[in-house]
């Protein structure tokens, strides 16, 4: 008999429709059984396309469904904390979109609730599950590029003028915890901490903002123990960038502009020696990092695996993001 996790999804967000619901339906150990949305008619095609059993018109109704074991929360940032807490209280395991919360204090509260209710809670930083990411982390861990000294990372894209001027997109609204730093800068902070294998000791940042105060364009630096540095770029108003480079004392790893989301294509990276200009191209067969993420989560729910992505790591990521936000706002170096 096939053992599977019965999933519910809170919200009909694009990331859910395009990436996560299909990934769960393709997975070996889970199925989406219910979707809750304020606008059920708009979800009819999702239900048909992905064979979802039930559509609820209230999030609470899904959480009351005893058949649902785990929920995925792709709601806007400011709703991550309240609906995670409600789902945990209802006895559900929770996979919540990145960033896990609006700040580190919220993330700590959510982690404590997961421990109190004895439920699994994980942030959906899917890039860490891709075989390319894991291979690069392993070669850094093994010292293939020497001691890591610098991580350069960027995740940027260009919003059209009409979207920027309207300001109604959740990424552009202060009340929904919008802004480039939280939306895409969270990836850069995460990969820098992961590759350095340490937490930053101080940060600096600058930002370009809307009149509302929401950051559109952010550049930051992080200092790590032992002389490590990281730079990040996060933007809604520049051309596409989606890449990172890890530079060590004995070599470097360079990625193309699909570093965090390579979709199902073959994924590449360049490994360079200490004095190499060109380096050696490595190709990883295509994989669905979203499917790998939800399968890992479901394995943990079913009791077969320990999560590779910890709540302590998610809290530490939020702590660094909080410091960068403060640095960008004040112009001061912020020490952690």
Mean pLDDT of 145-171: 96
Indicate if 94 and 159 belong to the same structural domain.
Answer: no
Q: Residue 149 — left, alpha, or beta (φ > 0 → left; ψ -120 to 50 → alpha)? A: alpha
Domain boundary pick from 75, 99, 127: 127
- First-to-last alpha carbon distance for the chain, in angstroms, is 50
Indicate if 243 and 115 belong to the same structural domain.
Answer: no
Q: How confident is the model at residue 101 (pLDDT cuts 50, 70, 90)?
A: very high
Indicate if 151 and 281 belong to the same structural domain.
Answer: yes
Burial of 257 (0-12, 13-18, 19+ CB in 10 A): middle
Q: Which of 141-150, 170-179, 298-307 has the lowest mean pLDDT?
A: 298-307
Query: Using one digit for the tens of pLDDT, what is the confidence trace for 261-311?
Result: 999 999 999 999 999 999 999 999 999 999 999 999 999 999 978 999 899
Whether 248 shows a pLDDT value over 90: the answer reads: yes
8 Å CB contact between 96 and 73: yes
What is the model's pLDDT at position 333? 98
Backbone phi, then psi, for 123, in 5-degree steps? Answer: -85, 140
Alpha helices, H only, the chain = 14-15, 21-26, 44-50, 59-63, 80-89, 104-117, 131-141, 161-166, 180, 186-196, 289-301, 311-330
Among 37, 35, 61, 38, smallest CA distance to 48 is for 35
pTM: 0.97
Indicate if 135 and 215 belong to the same structural domain.
Answer: yes
Indicate if 144 and 266 belong to the same structural domain.
Answer: yes
Domain boundary pick from 127, 145, 171: 127
In the chain, the number of structural domains is 2
Indicate if 109 and 204 belong to the same structural domain.
Answer: no
Indicate if 178 and 321 belong to the same structural domain.
Answer: yes
- Does residue 101 form part of some domain? yes
Indicate if 198 and 103 belong to the same structural domain.
Answer: no
Indicate if 288 and 151 belong to the same structural domain.
Answer: yes
**Domain harbouring 10, CATH code:** 3.40.50.720
Indicate if 143 and 288 belong to the same structural domain.
Answer: yes
- Which domain does 138 fall in, by range? 128-292+317-335
Indicate if 142 and 263 belong to the same structural domain.
Answer: yes
8 Å CB contact between 27 and 294: yes
Query: Using one digit for the tens of pLDDT, what is the confidence trace for 26-84?
Result: 999 999 999 999 999 999 999 999 999 999 999 999 999 999 999 999 999 999 999 99
**Domain harbouring 189, CATH code:** 3.30.360.10
Beta bridge mates, 201: none
């Amino acid at each position: 008999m096939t053992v599977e996790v019965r999933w519910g999804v809170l919200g009909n967000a694009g990331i859910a429709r395009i990436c996560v619901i299909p990934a769960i339906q393709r997975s070996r150990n889970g199925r989406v059984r219910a979707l809750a949305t304020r606008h059920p008619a708009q979800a009819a095609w999702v239900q048909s396309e992905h064979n979802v059993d039930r559509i609820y018109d209230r999030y609470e109704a899904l959480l009351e469904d005893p058949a649902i074991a785990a929920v995925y929360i792709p709601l806007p940032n400011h709703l991550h904390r309240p609906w995670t807490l409600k789902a945990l209280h209802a006895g559900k395991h929770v996979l919540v979109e990145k960033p896990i919360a609006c700040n580190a204090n919220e993330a700590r509260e959510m982690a404590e609730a997961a421990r109190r209710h004895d439920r699994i809670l994980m942030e959906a930083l899917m890039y860490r599950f891709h075989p390319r990411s894991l291979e690069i982390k392993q070669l850094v861990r093994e010292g293939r590029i020497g001691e890591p000294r610098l991580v350069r990372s960027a995740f940027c894209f260009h919003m059209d003028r009409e979207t920027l001027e309207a300001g109604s997109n959740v990424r552009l609204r202060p009340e929904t915890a919008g802004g480039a730093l939280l939306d895409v800068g969270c990836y850069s902070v995460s990969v820098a901490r992961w590759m350095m294998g340490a937490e930053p000791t101080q940060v600096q940042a600058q930002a370009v903002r809307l009149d509302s105060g929401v950051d559109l364009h952010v550049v930051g630096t992080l200092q790590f123990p032992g002389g490590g540095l990281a730079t990040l770029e996060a933007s809604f108003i520049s051309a596409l960038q989606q890449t990172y480079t890890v530079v060590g004392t004995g070599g470097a790893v360079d990625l193309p502009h699909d570093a965090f989301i390579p979709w199902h294509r073959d994924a590449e990276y360049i490994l360079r020696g200490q004095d190499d200009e060109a380096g050696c191209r490595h190709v990883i067969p295509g994989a669905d990092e979203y499917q790998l993420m939800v399968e890992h989560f479901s394995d943990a729910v079913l009791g077969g695996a320990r999560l590779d992505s910890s709540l302590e790591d998610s809290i530490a990521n939020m702590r660094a993001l909080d410091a960068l936000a403060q640095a960008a706002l004040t112009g001061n170096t912020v020490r952690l």
